[in-house]
A and B are shown apart, each in its own frame.
Chain A
Amino acid sequence: MNALAMQQIKKQYSHFQLSLESLELPTGSIMGFIGANGAGKSTTLRMLMGLIQPDSGSIEVLGKPLPKHADQVKWDIGYISEDMRLYPQATLEWHMNWIRSIYPVWDENYAKHLLKSFDLQAKQKLKGFSHGQRVKATILLALARRPKLLMLDEPTTGLDPIARSEVLTELMAVLADEERSILFSSQNTLDVEQISDQIAFIDRGRLVGASNKEDYLDRWRKLRLEVPVGVQLPQLPEVVSSNGEGRLVIITTNQYSRTLEAKYNAIGANVLHTDTMSLEEIFVANVQHMRRNAA
């Protein structure tokens, strides 16, 4: 079963169009939603929260269609956004008490555990919090209500390495319960690579790829070729880009298999190295490939 599913989504703004064919997150998974600034990550997450309605298409979250059941579904969603602020004039304790009074499922022991592990002072007013403390306070308020689905819009942006590590550790702990799922948008591919098992790339309002993380890491490779004079490299469908002139050429592929190496060897090129790619390299190569195709 899917924690969320979007099909044929379109949303038109004056200078931006979001157009997503299909995005699904299986229950119990953590999906990293990667895209540059303005790619449409926040708009997508806000649609999944029922805060924005698409012009067309269908959205289902936790088995219920949106926006019709948005209010009902939001009881089971913990949503955190980089743009979200708590009330600066109130203490974290006030926020915790207020949220606890709304959510009967609030887990006080877990909240106390998070307070300690995030090193937050409950009696301190939010206006005295640093950016990192504010983000951790927002995450605490979302996690302690034990949501079935966490939607995090760039939660680690601007966090120092220690705060980032604390946040990622707690997010990983959430997934100890197999019924919980996380959609995690970020520009930081390192964070995503660390904790996600599903990856989706978005660029200029379009989904340019969505798959299992291991699939991505397995399929994408860089091949360093030595090409003798007179040998012409063929245009292969599995090749995404080819860089370099003269004897040394670097091939990027999104459908790697041993047969690709064999194909190059067969025409006289020498495969010097086959390198794995980081998620960041895959993201950049994928986006550039899609942009070239679109042009």
Chain B
Amino acid sequence: MNYFLVQKLIYKDWYFQRPTVLGSVLLGFLALLLVGLQNSIWFTAGSILLLTVIIAFGGILATSLVVGERSTQTRLFILSLPISMREYTTAKMISSLLIFLIPWTAFLISSYILITNQAALPDGFFAFVLVVLLELLLNYCLLLSISVITESQGWASFGIIVGNLTLNAFIFYVGSLPDIKTAIASSSMVWNSTLTTILLLEVMVILALLSVTFYVQSRKKDLI
């Protein structure tokens, strides 16, 4: 593995995505500001905005970093460099994940600070936020895997639709579980077995998606 070239490709992706990262971070902080206004309407609006920002950012990122390189024909320029499919996939997965994790981590930390410092919000609510944010990360990994494997705008759009539909169902279902309801309402953070199982499952699915992507890519004979 040529780590030097992988690093160069990651830098290149980061360079082109800086404005998108900045925009999403600013919008995300605006959403968190609304959440912190201690008003139920603003809380709902802020939450929806935050979810929208993360979903849209993931969609833009996966399509522009992966599918976009094919449709804009810049991929051939990259593949003319001395890299293998393995190195290309590694660079693409790392850069896509790292760039997504920048606002994601910022929102996670900000949510923690906001929830633990707001008397109106029970600290246990953070556990639910963590579950939802991990689900968003999972959805992004699904979209990323589909994009990297298929390099198709159509399939990427399908991934975005599936991700959004499952997210709504997931929030509704998980939020209605008695153990989760208890955890959310608790004044301190509660890590009950239901909560930890969900978190563990999310992490396992994320790892499985990443592994499948590398496996499928490693079996590809043609780079284009």
Stretch with Cβ within 8 A of A (4 or more), from B24-32, B72-80, B93-101: B72-80
Partner of B5, one of A49, A53, A72, A102: A102
Which of A46, A70, A102 contacts B8, CB < 8 Å? A102
- In the complex, chain A residues 77-136 whose Cβ is within 8 Å of any chain B Cβ: 77, 79-81, 83-90, 94, 98, 101-102
Which secondary structure characterizes the binding site on chain A? mixed
Answer whether residue A71 sits at the interface, using C-beta atoms and an 8 A cutoff.
yes
Per-residue interface assignment for chain B, residues 1 to 41, with 1 indicating a CB less than 8 Å from any chain A CB and 0 otherwise: 01001001000100110000000000000000000000000
Q: Mind listing 17 A-B residue pairs with CB under 8 Å?
A: A51-B224, A52-B221, A52-B223, A71-B84, A72-B82, A73-B82, A74-B80, A74-B81, A74-B83, A75-B82, A77-B80, A84-B73, A84-B76, A84-B80, A85-B76, A88-B72, A89-B16
List the A residue with the shortest CB-CB distance to B220: A53
Contact A85 B72 (CB under 8 A): yes
Distance (Å) between the CB of B79 and the closest chain A CB? Answer: 6
CA distance A72 to B83 in the complex (A): 8
Which residue of chain A has the shortest Cβ distance to B222 in the bound complex?
A52
Kindly state whether residue A29 has any CB partner on chain B within 8 Å. no
Interface check A181, CB cutoff 8 A: no
Q: Contacts A71-B2, A85-B72 given; indicate if A98 touches B80 (C-beta within 8 A).
A: no
| Residue positions of A touching B, CB distance < 8 A | 46, 49-53, 70-75, 77, 79-81, 83-90, 94, 98, 101-102, 138, 142
Q: Are B84 and A51 in contact (CB under 8 A)?
A: no
CA distance A213 to B8 in the complex (A): 42
Closest Cβ–Cβ distance, residue B11 to chain A (whole Å):
8
Residues of B contacting A: mostly: loop
Please report the C-alpha to C-alpha distance between residue A142 and residue B82 in the assembled complex, in whole angstroms.
13
Check A90–B16 contact: CB distance below 8 A.
Answer: yes
When the two chains form the complex, which single residue of B8, B72, B77, B83 contacts A71, counting CB atoms closer than 8 Å?
Answer: B83
| Contact indicator A53/B77 (Cβ below 8 Å) | no
How many residues does chain B have at the interface if contact means C-beta atoms less than 8 Å apart?
A: 22
Instruction: Check A81 against B76 for contact (C-beta < 8 Å).
Output: yes
Complex contact B81–A87 (CB within 8 A): no
CA distance A83 to B8 in the complex (A): 23
Minimal beta-carbon separation of A96 from chain B (angstroms): 13
Given contacts A52-B222, A90-B16, contact A79 B74 (CB under 8 A): no
Contacting residues, chain A, for B83 (C-beta < 8 A)? 71, 74
Q: Is the CB of B16 within 8 A of A52?
A: no
In the assembled complex, the Cα of A71 lies from the Cα of B83 at a distance in Å of 5
Chain B residues whose C-beta falls within 8 Å of the C-beta of A77 in the assembled complex:
80
Could you say which residues of chain B place their CB within 8 Å of the CB of A102? 5, 8, 81
The answer for the CA separation of A73 and B80 in the assembled complex, in Å, is 11
Beta-carbon contacts of B98-118 to A below 8 Å, as 1s and 0s? 000000000000000000000
Distance of A49 Cα from B74 Cα, bound (Å): 16
Question: A51 CB to closest chain B CB, in angstroms?
Answer: 5
Specify which of A53, A79, A83, A85 is in contact with B222 (CB 8 Å cutoff).
A53
B74 touches A87 (CB 8 A): yes
- Chain B residue nearest in CB terms to A46: B224
Give the 6 A-B CB pairs with smallest separation, nearest first: A74-B82, A85-B73, A79-B80, A53-B221, A84-B76, A51-B223
